[in-house]
């Protein structure tokens, strides 16, 4: 099952905003869901949003970027949090803290949106490839932040890659979970399971564990 986690958002503003960018995003996701990504044109997105194609291209380079426009802001948020983490935190703890923070600030109020976005990306190989590139860039940026904190290699890269893996798995469980859970809870649970695995300890069946 393909998992998509990079989502557009405005820093500090969890809900969809009624400006031109938000209207284009909403229109694009509706059309991608109704007709498929490949069959949807920029002209149709602009028309559905009540805007012009010129306005679309002022916000997005192409129709693909509607789904990925927030990646840079998300990366800046995570990197900033890692750099500001208390010195006493281990590399993995600093990554975990940043991921939980992003979950609360970015994703919690947009569960329906990210579920719809996941379905669109999962159905298109081109978008899946783009998602993997974005995630790799995010891991690289987090590793750089850890190195700036004085973490040597390969520890910095290992912690960053492990953190992104935890985020992907937690995200998958969150969007498919019918219970009133939060992404932050899933991240914390997945991180705890990673620590058990690396310590060689048995991992409980998460289906039997309350969040």
**Structural domains in the chain plus CATH codes:** 72-112+125-208 (1.10.357.10)
pTM of the full structure: 0.81
6: three-class secondary structure by DSSP: coil
Dump pLDDT digits (tens) for 158-184.
999 999 999 999 998 898 887 888 999
Angstrom distance (rounded) from CA 126 to CA 122: 10
pLDDT of residue 203: 65
Angstrom distance (rounded) from CA 42 to CA 56: 8
pLDDT of residue 18: 57
Q: Backbone phi, then psi, for 66, in 5-degree steps?
A: -60, -35
Angstrom distance (rounded) from CA 8 to CA 71: 7
Res. 211: pLDDT tops 80: no
pLDDT of residue 199: 80
pLDDT of residue 46: 96
Top-confidence residue, 113 or 164: 164
pLDDT of residue 186: 95
- Cis peptide bond N-terminal to 27, omega within 30: no
10 beta partners? 13
Dump pLDDT digits (tens) for 40-89.
999 999 999 999 999 999 999 999 999 988 888 899 999 999 999 999 99
Percent of the chain with pLDDT over 70: 87
Angstrom distance (rounded) from CA 146 to CA 139: 11
Cβ neighbours of residue 196 under 8 Å, at least 6 residues apart? 202, 203
């Amino acid at each position: 099952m393909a998992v998509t986690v990079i989502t557009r958002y405005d820093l500090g503003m969890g809900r969809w905003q009624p400006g031109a960018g938000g209207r284009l995003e909403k229109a694009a996701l509706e059309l991608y869901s109704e007709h498929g990504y490949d069959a949807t044109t920029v002209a149709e997105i602009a028309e559905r949003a009540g805007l012009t194609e010129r306005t679309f291209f002022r916000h997005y380079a192409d129709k693909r970027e509607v789904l990925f426009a927030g990646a840079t802001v998300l990366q800046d948020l995570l990197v900033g949090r890692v750099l500001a983490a208390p010195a006493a935190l281990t590399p993995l703890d600093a990554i975990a803290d940043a991921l939980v923070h992003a979950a609360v600030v970015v994703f919690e109020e947009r569960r329906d949106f990210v579920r719809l976005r996941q379905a669109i990306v999962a159905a298109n190989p081109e978008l899946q490839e783009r998602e993997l590139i974005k995630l790799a860039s995010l891991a690289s940026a987090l590793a750089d932040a850890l190195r700036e904190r004085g973490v040597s290699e390969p520890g910095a890269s290992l912690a960053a890659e492990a953190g992104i893996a935890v985020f992907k798995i937690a995200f998958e469980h969150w969007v498919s979970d019918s219970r009133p859970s939060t992404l932050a809870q899933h991240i914390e649970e997945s991180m705890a399971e990673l620590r058990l695995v690396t310590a060689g300890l048995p991992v409980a069946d998460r289906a039997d564990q309350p969040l």
